Structure 1
Amino acid sequence: MTASPKGRICLLPRRARPFFAGHPWVYRASIARIEGKPDAADEVSVFSAEGAFIARGLFNPSSNIVVRLYRWEDEPLDEAFWRSKIRAAAHLRGGVLALGDPGAACRLVFSEGDGLSGLTVDRYDRWLVANISSLAVHKRREMLLEILREVTGCEGILARPDRATADKEGMARGDASILGNIPDGPVGVLENGLKYEVDLVGGQKTGFYCDQRDNRKAVARFCAGGRVLDLFCYTGGFSLNALRHGAASGTVGIDSSAAAIAQARRNASLNGLDRAEFRAADAHEALADLAEKGETFGVVICDPPKYAGQAKDREVAMRGYRRLNAAALRVLQPGGILATCSCSGLVDRASFAAMLGQVAEETRRPIQILEQRGQAADHPVSAACPESDYLKCFLCRVG
């Protein structure tokens, strides 16, 4: 596949500033015209309305993001370029953050956060799982997987299209690739002194949520002596941290996925924390049932899936967060801790905090925000791309 530009993308007047500043997403609404005849996944150059070169990127006329930008020098997006970006990402995790220990789980490549829009890679011990959200990256996957194996020395890589964006990008959801060997069963990893099994093939996203690593430990500080409700618990990360750090009255984890609940129970047994209780149920229905029975908790954790995948979903998402958190307060003891999260990049921190203010008004219960946290450091935020600051985790005391 050639790395030379196949087209020239000319922007509308007064649309170039974010891209000169390094934002990687060029939407159709910013484009004045396309010169040449680039095909999907071809390399293109982007220019301002005045004719100034901005960056090189990859083209997809079917996507909401028509061009993803990668290089702000007028140089090719060749194999050497991709290798340098992946090496830099790996050095950040291993050389700077010291997350490369045997058995560790970490995000090795974080898409826009590492200047590799459309490519997310998680490392689980000696294996990698790549989640691809760009057709152009997907078409370069053989080269990228070889570079990943060369840089990391891993035993095997599983790469698959991101389910949420596959249709929009023109990728077949089931078009997975394997390089090397992938284990038949789950892989064991260690995080915060706790053991977890990760299903590389059948798990959600890449199998585990490394972005909440530090938040799981932070929430556990408030759980000593209390009873904890862990909503959308997946495979038990918050619950097990809470028990390890003193949730003497036990934990109740709720998730709609029966497979996730089964894995959470196995993770509890792996760590000798069989006091953890897990239930397969809808979180909203479970909250209503708990409230009707008069059950209460000292700590309630809300870590729902993404509510806003597109800008048009934002208003509905905010109503969803408001409804969820108001329901959570019905089972939270006075003076209890609410740990509430949003992984929707389209919902900013100010809006999330304002939503909590609305919940306080609706429930007539004062909410004190003690900490505003985000994703772990192996999910770095690009200053040029605010959307990469996607995870909000607010720790609140509720009167």
Structure 2
Amino acid sequence: MTTASVILKPKRAQPFFGRHPWVFAGAVEKVDGKPADGDEVILRTSAGNFVARGLFNNHSKILVRLYSWDEAKPLDRDFFRDRLAHAIKLRHDVLKLNHGPTAAYRVCFSESDILSGLIVDRYGEWLTAQFTALGLANRREMIADILRELLNPRGIYLRTEKGIGKLEGCELHDGLLSGEPPPAEIVIEENGLKFAVNLAEGQKTGYYLDQRDNRAAVAKMCEGKRVLDAFSYSGGFGVYAAKGGAASVSCVDASDAALTLAKRNADLNGLTQVTTAKADVFNHLTALAQEKQQFDVVVLDPPKFARNRAALPDAIQGYRRLHKLAMKLLAPDGILVSCCCTGLIKMTDLEEIIAQVAMDAKRDTQILERRGPSADHPVAVSCRESGYLKCIVSRVT
């Protein structure tokens, strides 16, 4: 069967020769052939020259996701096996994250591993898979088979992202994709600390692997300190802080289940100075400020505040309000840890928010570190939108 071609408008090919993987409908002149959603297509210039191979989805704003820039390499099982093997090689041979049956790391990170729409995480002997593109979702059995061949997990659990069904035109539901179902609790090890993970009910794919190195960096600043971990989820920053010698750690989150995990994680590591508070974080921080309570380290790690540009002004206001509260709670010479996973907000935007709030609070503030995600969440230079996580560590005097 002849592979359909997607023809670009004149002078629109340069980003795709540069290996950006997203072809929006506005860049396309016409489609030669009648590809079904999820079918392989060839992207061509207006002159008919080959650019790349991709997967078509007329339902999505991203009309074609690109995967291969070699005309001789179709998007078959061998192609996806090579891509996944290359991703695994980074984590095993370069980053040395495969340290045994309790290891946890990101196996494949979508655009960053040139597999747009696929996220795979390892938690001990189980994998989670998340499909955010219809083309790969339609190939999930093949991808699960490749993952079994390469990593031999006991099971693969499918996690879905809210809103993807509407955006991509595919209906997926959380559940077992392959092998044995995961137990209610899997205990992983990270930098010598133990964490309990619930693959079926936890946020994202079960745990925030992207903050691994940031947690370790912040822990070094917590000895003898009073620490507030806001939006703590399962207590990642808080547990690291306690292990780093913090005098006290308060984990605040709106989720009972998350705080139960946070307490469990403190217990797993024999840490007795961790307490939890179930509350709306903004309201709780406001109440603490009114009580004139103070902390030596404040960690702000909120969820994504904006999923599209229309929501960006409200998101910026949310980050600004959060930082105003943190400034009120920080003791002199306190450490402020500002995390932002809203991809539409850049590092410079986050710096500007911190600068404006510090100026309003009349507090001298020094940026000590600008950090990103752990290295198993690399940023593709051809798709820098994959660099979503910002973490700024500041000293507030």
Q: TM-score scaled to structure 2, two decimals?
A: 0.96
The alpha-carbon deviation at position 167 of structure 1 amounts to 2.0
Where do 4+ consecutive residues of structure 1 move more than 4 Å? Answer: none
Structure-2 residue corresponding to 1:153: 152
**Matched pairs, number:** 395
Structure 1 residues 45 and 311, CA, compared in 2 at 3 Å: closer, same or farther? Answer: farther
Distance of 2:311 and 2:109 partners within structure 1: 24
1:17 aligns with 2:14: yes
The alpha-carbon deviation at position 5 of structure 1 amounts to 6.3
- Structure 2: 5+ residue runs without aligned partners? none
Distance of 1:253 and 1:241 partners within structure 2: 12
Structure-1 residue corresponding to 2:179: 180
Structure-2 residue corresponding to 1:167: 166
Structure-2 residue corresponding to 1:122: 121
Structure 1 residues 335 and 5, CA, compared in 2 at 3 Å: closer, same or farther? Answer: farther
Structure-1 residue corresponding to 2:225: 226
Distance of 1:43 and 1:267 partners within structure 2: 45
1:50 aligns with 2:47: yes
Which residues in structure 2 correspond to 1:35-74 (within 5 Å)?
35-74=32-71
Superimposed CA distance per residue, residues 68-106 of structure 1 (whole angstroms, 9 cap, x where no aligned partner) = 110011121000000000111111111111101120110
Distance of 1:324 and 1:101 partners within structure 2: 38
Superimposed CA distance per residue, residues 169-217 of structure 1 (whole angstroms, 9 cap, x where no aligned partner) = 1122426442011223211100121111100111111100110000001
Please say if residues 24 and 117 of structure 1, whose CA atoms lie closer than 8 Å, have aligned partners that are also in contact. Answer: yes
RMSD: 1.4
Please say if residues 106 and 378 of structure 1, whose CA atoms lie closer than 8 Å, have aligned partners that are also in contact. Answer: yes
Q: Which amino acid aligns with 1:13?
A: P
Distance of 1:239 and 1:296 partners within structure 2: 16
1:111 aligns with 2:110: yes
Distance of 1:34 and 1:256 partners within structure 2: 48
- Equivalent of residue 392 in structure 2, options 382, 391, 394: 394
Distance of 1:277 and 1:240 partners within structure 2: 10
- SS, match of residue 293 in structure 2: coil
Structure-2 residue corresponding to 1:323: 321
- SS, match of residue 330 in structure 1: helix
Superimposed CA distance per residue, residues 311-361 of structure 1 (whole angstroms, 9 cap, x where no aligned partner) = 333232222211111121111112101000111222211222122222222
Structure-2 residue corresponding to 1:300: 298
Which region of structure 1 is more displaced relative to structure 2, 307-316 or 17-26? 307-316
Q: Which amino acid aligns with 1:27?
A: F
Please say if residues 299 and 337 of structure 1, whose CA atoms lie closer than 8 Å, have aligned partners that are also in contact. Answer: yes
Which region of structure 1 is more displaced relative to structure 2, 178-187 or 128-137? 178-187
Structure 1 residues 5 and 126, CA, compared in 2 at 3 Å: closer, same or farther? Answer: farther
Distance of 1:177 and 1:58 partners within structure 2: 25
Distance of 1:46 and 1:130 partners within structure 2: 28
Please say if residues 327 and 358 of structure 2, whose CA atoms lie closer than 8 Å, have aligned partners that are also in contact. Answer: no
- Structure 1: 5+ residue runs without aligned partners? none
Distance of 2:2 and 2:130 partners within structure 1: 26
Distance of 1:134 and 1:175 partners within structure 2: 15
Superimposed CA distance per residue, residues 259-290 of structure 1 (whole angstroms, 9 cap, x where no aligned partner) = 01111111111111122011111110111010
Structure-2 residue corresponding to 1:264: 262
The alpha-carbon deviation at position 14 of structure 1 amounts to 2.7
Distance of 2:118 and 2:365 partners within structure 1: 38
Which region of structure 1 is more displaced relative to structure 2, 18-27 or 173-182? 173-182
Superimposed CA distance per residue, residues 125-152 of structure 1 (whole angstroms, 9 cap, x where no aligned partner) = 1110011111111110000001001000
Distance of 2:85 and 2:40 partners within structure 1: 22
Identity %: 46
Please say if residues 157 and 174 of structure 2, whose CA atoms lie closer than 8 Å, have aligned partners that are also in contact. Answer: no
Q: Which amino acid aligns with 1:122?
A: D
- SS, match of residue 265 in structure 1: helix
Q: Which amino acid aligns with 2:23?
A: V
Distance of 1:364 and 1:73 partners within structure 2: 57
Structure 1 residues 5 and 157, CA, compared in 2 at 3 Å: closer, same or farther? Answer: farther
- SS, match of residue 51 in structure 1: coil
Structure 1 residues 175 and 207, CA, compared in 2 at 3 Å: closer, same or farther? Answer: closer
